[in-house]
Amino acid sequence: MNERGSEASAERRATEAKRNAVAELLRVSPLADELARRFSAAGHRLYLVGGSVRDALLGRLSQDLDFTTDARPEQILRLVSGWAEAVWETGIEFGTVGAAKGGTTLEITTFRADSYDRVGRHPDVAFGDSIDGDLVRRDFTVNAMAVDVVTKTFVDPHGGLDALARRSLDTPATPEESFADDPLRMLRAARFSAQLGFDPAPRVVRAMTDMAGEITRITAERVQAELSKLVVGAQPRRGVELMVDTGLAEHVVPEVPGMRLAIDEHHQHKDVYQHSLTVLDQAVELETRHDPTLEPDLVLRLAALLHDIGKPATRRFEPGGGVSFHHHEVVGAKLVRKRLRALRYSKDVVNDVSQLVFLHLRFHGYGKGEWTDSAVRRYVTDAGPLLPRLHKLVRADCTTRNRRKAAALQRSYDDLEARIARIAEEEDLAKVRPDLDGNEIMRLLDVEPGPIVGRAWKHLKEIRLDRGPLDHDEAVAELRRWAAEQGIGPAE
C-alpha cells in the first residue's frame, strides 16, 4: 500500500472509531438525549468527556458518565433538579454537580481553566468558556476527547483518537507542565499502563524520571487510591515496572525497587525483584483460574508483590558461596505493616497483607508430607479466613524453571490441600475452639471472668490443635491437670 493509501486507511479507521464512540454514547439514550435537550433549551452546551469518551471508544462505557458544560454550577443544579432522581453537591466548589437517574451516575462539571501554584496539588479553581480550553488542562490526550451530546459530533483537538489507536499515553500540554500542575498524573500514567496496557510516550517517561520526587507533594490517601487501582489492573506488572524504572516507586513503595539486589558470580540467588513480579503475574492468573467472574483481589496482589521485601535486610553470605535470608518473612511482615500504614490503607488490608507475608514460607516445612495433623491444624488456624488467599500465594511463589522441582512443589501443595479438606471434614477446622467454653471453665474452676479464664481457654485450644477433638471427660481432666500445675486450686 502506498503512502496515500495508508493515510486514507488510517483516516477511515479514525472515522469509524468516531462513529463507534457516538454509537456507544447513544446506547445510554434516551438519558443523554434528555439531558442534552434540557441544557440546549437553556442555551448551554453539553459534552460527554474524558474517561467516558475513552471507554466508549474502547467499547467499555460504564454506567458512570462524565459531562462538561459552559453552564455554571448553580445553573447545572437548576437544570438537573426535578429531572434526576438524586442530586449531590459535594464537589460543587470545584464546579461539579453529581446526579443519578435510571441506574446511571452522572458528574457534570463546568468548563475549567484552573491555575496551579505548583506547591500543593489543589488548583485555584477558575471556570472556562470553551471546550478546547477545558480539554487542554486534562491529564492525557486519550482523556482529552469529547462528544457534543447535542449535535453528536466528535471533538479531539489533541490527537487523542490517534493516541488511543497506538495505545500511547501523552499529555495535551508538555509533560513537565502537566506534572508540575498535578504530580499525581505521573502515578496515573503507571495506573493506565496497568489498567489499559498503554505505553507512555518517551517524553512522558523522561518527565516522570526527572520529576519523580514531585509525587511527595501529594497526600498519602490520594497516592494510595491510585496505587490500588494500578495493583488491581489487568496487567499490574506493567505499572509497577514503570514506577520502578522512572524512580517514582522510590517515593511511593521504596521497598519494591529495594529488592533489586546486586548478585555476583560467587553468591548466586534469584533476582528478588524479578521473582516478585513473576509471583504477582502468577497470583493474578490464579485469582480467576476456577472462577473467571471473581473481582481482582487487592490483598492477594499486594501480598504477592511484597512477600519478599524482607530479603534485602536479612541477606547473609554463607561460607562456600551460599546465600541465606533467615526470617525474612518476619521482617517482611513488619515492613509491609509499616509501609501500608504510611499509605493510609485500612486496618483490615494492613493486617491481612502482613499476615499473608508472615505465613507465606510456612508451607516449605511440609516437605513430602511430614507434617502431623496437628501442624496442619495450626496452618489452617493461623491462616483463618485468609487460607484461600494463602493457597494462591504459596502456589504463585513457585517460580523455579526446573519443571521437575516445580511439579513436585505443586504436588506437595495438592497433598496438603487434600489433608486440610479431610481434617476439615472430620473436625470442622474453620471453627477450631476448645472443647470447653468460657462458661464451663469458670464453673469448673469456680472463678470469675478474667485472665485465668483466658489462659485456660488458650491452653485447651492448644491441646485441641495438637490432639484433635477431645470428649468431654478428657477435656475436663485436662483442665483440672492444668489448673493444678498453675496452682489455681482444685477444679473439682
Categorize the per-residue pLDDT at 266 as very low, low, confident or very high, splitting at 50, 70 and 90: very low
Structural element, H or E, at residue 317 = strand 316-317
Instruction: Give the mean pLDDT of 455-471.
Output: 75
Phi, psi (rounded to 5 degrees) for 317: -85, 125
First-to-last alpha carbon distance for the chain, in angstroms, is 97
Categorize the per-residue pLDDT at 401 as very low, low, confident or very high, splitting at 50, 70 and 90: confident
Joined together, the cell numbers standing for residue 195 give: 489498567
* Matching residue, cell 446526579: 99
Domains of the chain: 1-166 (3.30.460.10), 294-431 (no CATH), 438-486 (no CATH)
User: What is the 8-class DSSP label of residue 449?
Assistant: S
Query: What is residue 114's predicted lDDT score, i.e. its pLDDT?
Result: 62
Residue 425, pLDDT above cutoff 80: no
Query: What is residue 194's predicted lDDT score, i.e. its pLDDT?
Result: 97
Categorize the per-residue pLDDT at 14 as very low, low, confident or very high, splitting at 50, 70 and 90: low
State the pairing for strand pair 96-101/86-88.
antiparallel
Instruction: Give the mean pLDDT of 51-69.
Output: 87
Residue 54, pLDDT above cutoff 70: yes
Nearest to 134 by CA among 119, 144, 122: 144
Residue range 112-168, pLDDT digits in tens: 876 565 565 565 667 888 999 999 989 999 999 999 998 888 899 999 998 998 999
Categorize the per-residue pLDDT at 108 as very low, low, confident or very high, splitting at 50, 70 and 90: very high
**CA 361/CA 390 separation, integer angstroms:** 10
**CA 54/CA 61 separation, integer angstroms:** 8
User: What is the 8-class DSSP label of residue 112?
Assistant: B
Beta bridge partners of 98: 88, 107
Nearest to 468 by CA among 438, 413, 425: 425
Categorize the per-residue pLDDT at 264 as very low, low, confident or very high, splitting at 50, 70 and 90: very low
Query: What is residue 188's predicted lDDT score, i.e. its pLDDT?
Result: 97
Nearest to 464 by CA among 378, 383, 384, 386: 378
Structural element, H or E, at residue 387 = helix 387-396
Nearest to 149 by CA among 43, 34, 19: 34
Instruction: Give the mean pLDDT of 231-240.
Output: 97
pTM value is: 0.81
Residue 274, pLDDT above cutoff 90: yes
The number of beta carbons lying within 10 Å of the beta carbon of residue 367 is 9
Instruction: Give the mean pLDDT of 300-318.
Output: 92
When mean pLDDT is compared across 230-239, 250-259, 427-436, the lowest value belongs to 427-436
When mean pLDDT is compared across 210-214, 352-356, 413-417, the lowest value belongs to 413-417
Q: Where are the alpha helices (DSSP H) in 197-322?
A: 202-211, 220-231, 236-246, 249-252, 272-287, 298-306, 311-314
Joined together, the cell numbers standing for residue 50 give: 474524558
Structural element, H or E, at residue 189 = helix 184-196
